[in-house]
Every structure is written in C-alpha cells, then in structure tokens.
C-alpha cells in the first residue's frame, strides 16, 4: 500500500527569502569575498594549494596552466575553467598584484588590456614567497582541512599565510548586495605595521598610518588626498584620488612634450586606450589647440605615453586639462570588506591587522604544538636507544635467544623471559628488569649495528641534547606569549628582508587641478546644412565670397554666433541642441559632418523639421502643427534650455509634428488634409500655449482623414500646389476661422 503524501503549507515569500539569503551567503563566503585571515578568495586558495600538491615549486620546471586548471577544477573548484584560469592569470600579473604569487611563463596579458594567451599555451609555477609565506607548514597541522565538493579529497579551509595578504595584494570582488575593493600596499610597510601592532595592541589608525603610509599600487602614480586617508582607513570606506606621474620634456624644434611614466591603477587595461581616445576628442572638440600629437610608447619596461605640444604652449595648463577631462586623474573607491569569523565585515586597517595577528598566534600555537609532540616522541626513542647502548650485550643475547620478534619485544617491554634462552642466569635476571616503552622497543629492534660505532653513539647523544633544547624552546614559546610574539616577529623580519620592496606610489596632498580655458573669440558665422543632413560652419567672409553657390547648394543657411546653440525640432516632438562649436569649422568646400553625429538626434527614427539658432528664435514665436490637426503658438524663449534633448511639444498617441515655423504677425498658413481639404488661417488666430501643451484643434477633420501638409505663407508670398492635376494658388484661398473643415479641392 502506497504511503500517503504529506503536504507542507508554507508562505511563498518566506521560502523565497530563505532561498535568496542562502544563495547570497553562498556567493559571499564561497565565491566572491576574500577571507581576512589569508586574504584569498576560494578560487585563489584552491589554485595555489593544487600547485603545491602537484609539486610545482619555484625551483622546478614550469607546468602547463591547462594541467593546473584541470586538476584544480576536478579536485577542488567545480565552477568552470575560465574562473580558475582568470584567477591564476591575475595572481601572476605584476601590474595588478602588489606581490605576484605565481611565476607565469608566456603571454599573461599586458597593462594595455591585452588578454592572456589560452591556458594550453601558458605555463606557471609558484613564486618563492608563496612557498615560504603562504604554503609553508601545511604539514604541521596549522590549519583545518575540510572535504572537497564531492568528499573525495581534503583541502585547507584557509592557507597559513604569514603576512596580511589582504593588504599586500588587495582584493576586488562583487557578491550579492555587496562588493569589496581593497587597494594593494607595500609589503615592507605592512610587515612593519604588524610588528608595531604586536608590540602595542592599542595602536590607533593615525599611528598606524605613520608606518603604512597608504596604498602602494603596482602602477605607481600619486595619491593626492593624503588628509583623507585617516578617515578611509578608520572606517574601511572612502575614495582615494589618484594621478598619473607626468614629466615635461623638451623635444626638437624648441617644443615641449608631456610624458606620462606612471598611470593611475584605475587606468589599467582598456582604460589606457580610452585615455588616448579622450585626448584625441579634446583636440577634435577644440577644448585645446595646444596638442599636436600623441603616441603610446609603453613596453615591458614600463609606461611611456608622449603628448607633443605646439611651440609656446603652456604645458602645465594642458596637464591640468588632462587631469580634469581624462582618467589621468581618477578615484579608487575603497570598501575593505572581507569574511571574518564566517561573516562579511567592513574593517579599517587596524582591525584587519588584528585579525591577522590573531591568526598568526593560532598558526604558531598549532605549529609549535605539533613540533613539541614530535620532539617528545623523538626524545622517547632517543632515550631508549641511549639506554640500549648501555646494555647492548644483553639485548643481543635476548635477540639471539628469542624464537620470534614478538617474544623479543615482549621481553624488552615487560621483562618477560619465559620463551627466551639465555646463556647465564645473570643475563636472565637482568632481562627481567628491562622496561622499555613500545616505541623504544621497536626502535631498538629496527636499529642497525652501525649505530654501535663510537661516533654514532656520540651523534646520538648530541641529537638527544638538541632534542632537549628544542623541547625547552617550544615549551617556552607555547607557555609564554612574549616568546611566541618574538618568534613571529623574527619570521616576519626574515620575510621582509628577503621579499621587501620599495614604495612605488607617492602619498601627498595635491591641490585640485585648475584648467584655465582660453576665452573663445565671439564671431559671426554661417551654418550650412545640406540636403543630406551634413552641417559645417564658415565665417561670414567665406560666405560672402561663395554666396551664390552656398544659397543654391544648401538646404538651410543659419546666420548666428560661433558660441551659439542650434535647436533641431523633429517630427517626434523633440528638441535636440547642438553647440555650433561642435560642428566642423573650415573652408567652404569642406564636407562637414552629419548633424546626428554631434547630437542625440536619431536619423533612423525621426526627421528634422526646423534647424535654427536659439539666439534667432529667443524673441520670436513658433507655430506647431500636427498630423491630428492640432496647432499652437509657443514663445521661442521656452526652448532656451540646457538639456541636450528635451520635449519641444506634447503629442497625443499616434500623432506627430508636420511643421514647425518661426512666425510673424500678418503671416498665414494653410493646412492640407489627406482628403484634400484646405484651411487657411491667420497666425493671430492661433492661441499661445506652453511647450508642454498639446495645443488646440486647427482643422476639423472628418473620419479617416488626417493632415498631410502644412504650408506657411509669409506676408505677401504665394505657393502653388497640385491636386488631381489641378493647380491651386494658396494665397487666393479664403482666410477662415480655426476649428472649421475648410474647403475641399
């Protein structure tokens, strides 16, 4: 008989909330955030441990990255090869890591953003510092080992890292609802900071910053807000302002060049290309006319970006322009978030070091406990061998008189002689007094005769004395915190001596860059717009010389100032603004550029009805007419706005603007419908509205009819249209009232 199903009634929102929290915590702890103890994310920790297990030491041959990635994925990290290889590559990049942990062989990417070669081509091995300061003592039970994902292997819960790697190499990661961003620091300063904390646990952030000056990025550069670092390193959050290092060099022709030798850390990768493009855009948009050329001469030896200036240019002012308008000056957002005691926590610099020091004490306690136990075991065996040397003749007699090893061992341990044949009763009597331990007895049985040589016995005594010293030393370390601290500090100083580096990043307070933009000389210009939507600007003298050709070839000619803005009114009811300065200025026969390239006007979705300088319409009125027959007048000053795109009028659903015209008193306009109704209205008869209004009905349309054309007639002008082969002179149409049907033609 089938067992009846048991239905559980639960609130759906509670299930979703619990599932989301479980997922979020899994990503936070198991994927995205580093552990405060070793400063590593799980994928980094597993990759380094796998290389350690594979024996890929710093003094051994490089091994294929594909081999390392495959082994790591199969044993410890079942999340795809790309994430493992990506982590491995970063661990080998000296321009991203404060202290690279992997020695890469092959193409591991570049500062300019070039990606690493495929893992089947590259090779890697551990760096010496990784072996000495990150993976040493794993065999001494210093950390807990946990089952891997399928419980077929064991992996360390955390690596026994001897330095605050979270500070030395920093970290970046995006979890669910939180992210970490920790800058790199100088290893020598960080070690000094740890030693200072161990000597004075009450040290504050201000005192710590006298030792650890601030971030030390592998790309160098300059931190410009030194005074803000105290707040940033106290709270664990804030913004560090960075600048590239710039030098002014003299080049041929009496000119100068700005040479960038160090870049902000945030400019690494594709942002170098973006910087070069931004400089090019500054020249194109005429923000500066002092730059004549830019070239990227960077190589493996370092960054070298050369910006050549024209003769007589103010190099310092151009530098300030680059600081203001490009990523040569940038900010690094700090959020020192890491997993501490199984939970994500934002910490300042002193708490991070405190967690690390507590971890160092834990590592040292477990290490010296393991070493002490081993020395005690060694002491027991050594004492047994020394004692055996004193009665070696008796032991030989016991061995020769025993029928089995078991009998001999029982005699050595318990003094049991019943199954052993002795030469004399005295020997038997002495044998009954033997009381070796199990381990001592086994060591005696395993001892080679060569150990009985005089020199060997002396060596045994010397080893015993050394073992006693080790036991005393390890016992002191474990029983006295001061002795343990002294040992840890000694190890840290040794690491600093071998692996310490000089600081790369300068920490200073630098005044904000001030760029003095040269005032633009205001001149009268002529904007030429051709039938293809290309626009260009020429001066008035050029226009006068080419007036006939310009009038003939141009769709529209706009006379304005070079500092003015053009307004593009479209059929979608939008107004797009374009600075005249953004349009190419030059010769009459220059091609110009598409007007949609310098504005948000989308030529694929809308068409322009009127292009005019805002200065020319500010004191005038504009009339709008739509497909549904709606009309209105709007003051031109309403369009004097700062946004690049704004709504020029409000439209009903499925409506569009058919015409926008600058009007004057005495003018008329004619509305023409699809069913050939014509209505001529005076401008004075159209009510004035705000640009956000739909307007009023201009022509009363019958069912299935709509407006198809609006003809604007300046006072005294005429226009002839053809309807069914019949020509109609629009200025002869009777002027009627608004909101009427008009006449059919």
Q: What is the pTM of this model?
A: 0.73
334 three-state secondary structure: strand
427 three-state secondary structure: helix
Q: What is the CA radius of gyration of the chain?
A: 42
Residues 6+ apart with CB under 8 A from 397: 422, 423, 427, 431
> What is the structure's pLDDT at 703?
83
**Higher-confidence residue: 450 or 114?**
114
Distance CA 650, CA 695 (A): 8
581 three-state secondary structure: helix
Distance CA 418, CA 715 (A): 141
* pLDDT of 23 above 70: no
CA distance to 555, 611, 704, 709, per residue, from 656 (Å): 22, 17, 16, 12
> What is the structure's pLDDT at 430?
84
pLDDT digits (tens, 9 = 90+) for 639-698: 988 888 999 999 988 899 999 999 988 889 899 999 999 999 999 889 999 999 999 999
> What is the structure's pLDDT at 21?
62
**Higher-confidence residue: 147 or 407?**
147
Task: Please report the DSSP string for 289-325 in residue order.
Answer: S-EEEEEE--BTTB--EEEEE-TT--HHHHHHHHHHH
Distance CA 598, CA 578 (A): 7
**Do 685 and 696 form a contact (C-beta atoms < 8 A)?**
no
The 10 Å Cβ neighbour count of residue 476 is 15
The 10 Å Cβ neighbour count of residue 441 is 21
Q: Is 246 exposed, middle or buried (0-12, 13-18, 19+ CB in 10 A)?
A: buried
User: Residue 225: which of 511, 514, 513 has the closest Cα?
Assistant: 511
Distance CA 60, CA 617 (A): 79
Distance CA 701, CA 689 (A): 22
Quickly state the pLDDT bin for 39 (edges 50, 70, 90). very high
> What is the structure's pLDDT at 16?
76
Cα angle for residues 678, 680, 686 (degrees, 5° grid): 125
> What is the structure's pLDDT at 28?
55
pLDDT digits (tens, 9 = 90+) for 483-495: 999 999 999 999 9
b vs e for 334-349, b when ≥16 Cβ sit within 10 Å of the residue's Cβ?
A: bebbbbbeeebbbbbb
Average pLDDT for residues 290-313, to the nearest whole number?
Answer: 90
**Do 353 and 37 form a contact (C-beta atoms < 8 A)?**
no
> What is the structure's pLDDT at 188?
96
Average pLDDT for residues 585-599, to the nearest whole number?
Answer: 84
Distance CA 442, CA 269 (A): 64
Quickly state the pLDDT bin for 517 (edges 50, 70, 90). low
* pLDDT of 20 above 70: no
* pLDDT of 432 above 60: yes
Name the percent of the chain lying above pLDDT 70: 96
* pLDDT of 715 above 80: no
> What is the structure's pLDDT at 74?
94
**Higher-confidence residue: 26 or 33?**
33
> What is the structure's pLDDT at 351?
96
Q: Is beta strand 291-296 parallel, antiparallel or unpaired with respect to 305-309?
A: antiparallel
Please identify every residue annotated as catalytic. Answer: 121
Task: Please report the DSSP string for 584-632 in residue order.
Answer: -B--TT---EEGGGGSS--TTT--EEEEEEHHHHTTSEEEEEETTSEEE
Token pair recorded at residue 734: 């009777």
Bridge partners (DSSP) of residue 239 are 333
* pLDDT of 359 above 70: yes
**Higher-confidence residue: 696 or 599?**
696
Quickly state the pLDDT bin for 22 (edges 50, 70, 90). low
Name the percent of the chain lying above pLDDT 90: 57
Average pLDDT for residues 278-292, to the nearest whole number?
Answer: 85
Q: Is 387 exposed, middle or buried (0-12, 13-18, 19+ CB in 10 A)?
A: middle
User: Residue 353: which of 16, 46, 54, 36 has the closest Cα?
Assistant: 36
Quickly state the pLDDT bin for 321 (edges 50, 70, 90). very high
Phi, psi of 348 (to 5 degrees): -80, 180
**Do 657 and 570 form a contact (C-beta atoms < 8 A)?**
yes
pLDDT digits (tens, 9 = 90+) for 380-418: 988 888 888 888 888 888 888 888 888 888 888 888 888
Distance CA 454, CA 444 (A): 17
Quickly state the pLDDT bin for 187 (edges 50, 70, 90). very high
pLDDT digits (tens, 9 = 90+) for 528-578: 988 888 899 999 999 999 999 988 888 889 999 988 999 999 999 999 999
User: Residue 365: which of 196, 199, 485 has the closest Cα?
Assistant: 485
Across the chain, mean pLDDT equals 89
CA distance to 570, 607, 608, 641, 714, per residue, from 556 (Å): 15, 15, 12, 23, 17
Distance CA 431, CA 454 (A): 24
What is the SS3 assignment for 437-458? Answer: CHHHHHHHHHCCHHHHCHHHHH
The 10 Å Cβ neighbour count of residue 458 is 10
Phi, psi of 408 (to 5 degrees): -65, -40
């Amino acid at each position: 008989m089938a067992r009846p199903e048991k239905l559980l009634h639960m609130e759906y929102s509670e299930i979703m909330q619990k599932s989301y929290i479980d997922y979020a915590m899994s990503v936070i702890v198991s994927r995205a955030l580093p552990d405060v103890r070793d400063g590593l994310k799980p994928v980094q920790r597993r990759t380094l441990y796998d290389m350690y297990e594979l024996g890929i030491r710093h003094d051994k041959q490089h091994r294929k990255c594909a081999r390392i990635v495959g082994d790591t994925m199969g044993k410890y990290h079942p999340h795809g090869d790309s994430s493992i290889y990506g982590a491995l590559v970063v661990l080998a990049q000296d321009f991203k890591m404060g202290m690279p942990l992997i020695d890469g062989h092959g193409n591991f990417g570049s500062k300019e953003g070039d990606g690493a070669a495929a893992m089947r081509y590259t090779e890697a091995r551990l760096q010496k510092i990784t072996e000495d300061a990150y993976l040493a003592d794993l065999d001494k039970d210093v950390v807990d080992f946990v089952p891997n994902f399928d419980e077929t292997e064991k992996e360390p819960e955390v690596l026994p890292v001897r330095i605050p790697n979270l500070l030395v190499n920093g970290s970046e990661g995006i979890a669910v609802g939180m992210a970490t961003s920790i800058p790199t620091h100088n290893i020598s300063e960080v070690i000094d900071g740890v030693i200072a904390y161990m000597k004075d646990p009450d040290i504050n952030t201000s005192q710590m910053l006298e030792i650890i000056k601030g971030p030390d990025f592998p790309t160098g550069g300059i931190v410009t807000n030194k005074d803000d670092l105290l707040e940033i390193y106290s709270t664990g959050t804030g913004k560090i302002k960075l600048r590239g290092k710039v030098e002014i060099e003299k080049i041929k022709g009496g000119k100068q060049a700005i040479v960038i030798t160090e870049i902000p850390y945030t400019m690494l990768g594709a942002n170098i290309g973006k910087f070069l493009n931004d400089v090019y855009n500054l020249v194109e948009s005429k923000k500066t006319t002092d730059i004549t050329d830019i070239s990227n001469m960077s190589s493996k030896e370092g960054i070298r970006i050369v910006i050549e200036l024209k003769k007589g240019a103010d190099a310092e002012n151009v530098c300030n322009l680059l600081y203001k308008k490009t990523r040569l000056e940038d900010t690094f957002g700090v959020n020192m978030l890491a997993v501490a005691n199984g939970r994500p926590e934002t910490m300042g610099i002193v708490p991070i070091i405190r967690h690390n020091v507590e971890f160092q004490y834990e590592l040292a306690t477990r290490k010296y406990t393991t070493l002490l136990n081993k020395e005690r075991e060694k002491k027991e065996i050594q004492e047994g061998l020394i004692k055996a040397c004193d009665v070696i003749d008796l032991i030989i007699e016991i061995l020769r008189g025993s029928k089995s090893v078991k009998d001999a061992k029982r005699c050595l341990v318990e003094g049991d002689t019943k199954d052993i044949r002795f030469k004399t009763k005295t020997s038997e009597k002495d044998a009954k007094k033997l009381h070796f331990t199990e381990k001592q007895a086994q060591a005696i049985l395993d001892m080679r005769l060569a150990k009985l040589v005089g020199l060997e016995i002396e060596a045994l005594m010397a080893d015993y004395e050394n073992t006693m010293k080790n036991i005393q030393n390890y016992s002191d370390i474990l029983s006295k915190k001061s002795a343990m601290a002294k040992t840890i500090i000694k190890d840290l100083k040794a690491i600093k001596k071998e692996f310490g580096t000089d600081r790369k990043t300068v920490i200073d307070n630098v005044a904000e860059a001030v760029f003095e933009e040269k005032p633009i000389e205001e001149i009268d210009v002529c904007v030429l717009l051709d039938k293809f939507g290309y626009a260009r600007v020429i001066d008035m003298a050029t226009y006068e010389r080419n007036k006939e050709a310009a009038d003939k070839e141009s769709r529209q000619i706009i006379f304005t100032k070079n500092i003015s803005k053009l307004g593009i009114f479209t059929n979608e009811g939008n107004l797009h603004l374009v600075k005249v300065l953004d349009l190419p200025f030059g010769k009459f026969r220059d091609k110009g550029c598409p007007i949609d390239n310098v504005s948000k006007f989308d030529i694929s979705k809308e068409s322009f009805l009127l292009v005019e300088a805002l200065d020319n319409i500010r004191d005038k009125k504009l009339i709008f007419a739509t497909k549904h027959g709606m009309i209105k007048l709007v003051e031109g000053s309403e369009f004097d706005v700062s946004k690049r795109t704004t709504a020029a009028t409000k439209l009903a659903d499925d409506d569009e603007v058919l015409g926008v015209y600058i009007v004057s008193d005495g003018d008329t306009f004619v509305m023409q419908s699809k069913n050939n109704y014509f209505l001529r209205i005076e401008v004075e008869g159209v009510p004035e509205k705000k640009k956000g209004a739909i307007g009023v009905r201009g022509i009363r349309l019958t069912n299935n009819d709509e407006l198809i054309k609006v003809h604007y007639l300046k006072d005294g002008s005429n226009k002839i249209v053809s309807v069914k082969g019949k020509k109609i002179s629009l200025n002869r149409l009777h002027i009627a009232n608004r909101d009427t049907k008009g006449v059919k033609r």
